[in-house]
Amino acid sequence: MPGIPVLDLSLLDGDRDDQARFRDELRRATHEVGFFSLVGHGVPRDLIDRAYATAREFFALPEEQKRAIENVHSPHFRGWTRMGGERTLGRVDQREQIDIGAERPAVPAGPGVPDYWVLEGPNLWPEALPALREVAEEWLSRLDGVATRLLRAWAESLGAPSETFDAVFERPSPHLKIARYPGVEAAAPAQGVGAHKDLGVLTLLSVEDGKAGLQVEKDGEWLDVVPPAGAFVVNIGELLEIATDGYLKATLHRVVSPPAGTERISIPYFHGPALDATIPDVELPESLRAAAPGVTLDPANPLHAVFGDNWLKSRVRAHPNVVEAQHPHLLQAAAGRSE
């Protein structure tokens, strides 16, 4: 398919040669491109269809029902983001979405409690659509299993034990978005989501079958990505780049708004470790270490080894309205940082 490699996760259920082939393809795809489409993942088609049907029901709710669970009401950056309510690199993204994470009690603030613990807490659910919670929690569970298999395969492909990353995911911090991009009439490509790298470990993105819009940067050019039907688009985040000294590549990507009169729904799942976790460094074999260019240095986007620090950096930049409403003390910390 256009743009990026296609990998088949079911090869891990095959013989040794099949498994070795998958690990080799996985390593090469994420070293050279940073993105691939994943088929053979085992997520039921029925769940995918229900997720999109439920997403359409959510976005069709009356405005006042969505505003009741708007993210400005959540100290944890959960809930609905209105159209134009998120920013990338300081520019407004043209989408609406709902952000969902692990359903947990809030962590009380206090002396010695890092700011990033504000990211843990309960979700905001629409009262009129209980099916949303049901499908979201099933999605989180299924995608956690897929991501765990991928991480173990990645570790082995890099010459490390398969359980290398297991410990930091004992209390994971999953993050799910359900996003709608409206059609835009524009002479130039309009910003659905601006160019960025994902901040965590890995992302599994579901896009409606046949829908374009995702673009991945490679060698200074933007590649259009339309994955096979039912596939997930997978990319690594900044923490895997840190863990491999840049051998695995966190890649810039963006979403271009669909044409006027259409819309695009997508469901990205971000596989995050514990908020206080530091991803272990992978000791690469010499044959791979020579091809590790080091971690990307960008003064406008400092990378933090602790997951919670990296995630909070992203939330503060993307949702200044939530920071103003819920965490004004973070505004000073964010001052002076380039958007």
**pLDDT tens readout for residues 262-290:** 999 999 999 999 999 999 999 999 999 99
Q: Pick the closest to residue 226 from 244, 248, 211 (CA basis).
A: 211
* Contact of 109 with 118, CB cutoff 8 Å: yes
Confidence bin at 299 (pLDDT 50/70/90) = confident
The predicted structure's pLDDT at residue 84: 85
The predicted structure's pLDDT at residue 184: 86
Confidence bin at 51 (pLDDT 50/70/90) = very high
Reply yes or no on whether the pLDDT at 5 is more than 50: yes
Confidence bin at 332 (pLDDT 50/70/90) = low
The predicted structure's pLDDT at residue 329: 86
Reply yes or no on whether the pLDDT at 338 is more than 50: no
For CA atoms 166, 178, 86, 299, the dihedral sign is: positive
Over residues 212-223, the pLDDT tens digits come to: 999 999 888 999
Specify the DSSP class assigned to residue 324.
Answer: H
The predicted structure's pLDDT at residue 339: 37
Over residues 154-191, the pLDDT tens digits come to: 999 999 999 999 999 999 999 999 999 999 887 677 88
Backbone torsions φ then ψ of 176, nearest 5 degrees: -120, 130
Q: Which residues contact 328 (CB under 8 A, 6 or more apart)?
A: none
Average the pLDDT over 238-254 and give the result. 93
Mean pLDDT of all residues in the chain? 92
Confidence bin at 333 (pLDDT 50/70/90) = low
